[in-house]
Structure 1
Amino acid sequence: MEEPSLPPPIRLVCVGAHRTLALQLLEQLKPHYTYCAILTTVEPTRTYSPGNLNLVLDALHPAPAGVIVGGAFSDEEGEEIAKLVATKKTESGAPMEFIKVPTGTIEGEGPAGLLRKVKELLYEKFGRQC
Structure 2
Amino acid sequence: MARSCSLLKPEPHRLLCLGAHRDMALKLQTKLAPHFTWCAILTKIEPRRTYSLDNFALLLDTLHPAPEGVIVGGGFSDEEGEEMRRLVEARGRAGDGTPMRFVKVPSGTLERSGPEGLVGTIKELLGEAFGVEW
How far did 1:5 drift?
Answer: 8.3
Q: 2:23 aligns with which of 16, 20, 23?
A: 20
Coordinate RMSD, CA, aligned: 1.4
Against the structure 1 CA distance between its residues 33 and 109, is the aligned structure 2 distance closer, same or farther, given a 3 Å change threshold? same
Instruction: Report the TM-score, using the length of structure 1 for normalisation.
Output: 0.93
Against the structure 1 CA distance between its residues 5 and 81, is the aligned structure 2 distance closer, same or farther, given a 3 Å change threshold? closer
Higher RCO (C-alpha under 8 Å, 6+ residues apart): 2
Counterpart residue number, 2:42: 39
- Over the matched positions of the two proteins, sequence identity in percent amounts to 57
Segments ≥4 residues shifted beyond 3 Å: none
Comparing 54-63 with 100-109, which one deviates more in the overlay?
54-63
How far did 1:91 drift?
Answer: 2.1
Counterpart residue number, 1:61: 64
Instruction: Report the TM-score, using the length of structure 2 for normalisation.
Output: 0.91
Secondary structure, aligned partner of 1:95: coil
Number of residue pairs matched by the alignment: 127
- String of CA shifts for 1:29-67, please: whole Å, max 9, x gaps: 011100000000111110000000010111111000000
Structure 2 runs not aligned, ≥5 long: 1-6
Counterpart residue number, 1:9: 12
Structure 1 runs not aligned, ≥5 long: none
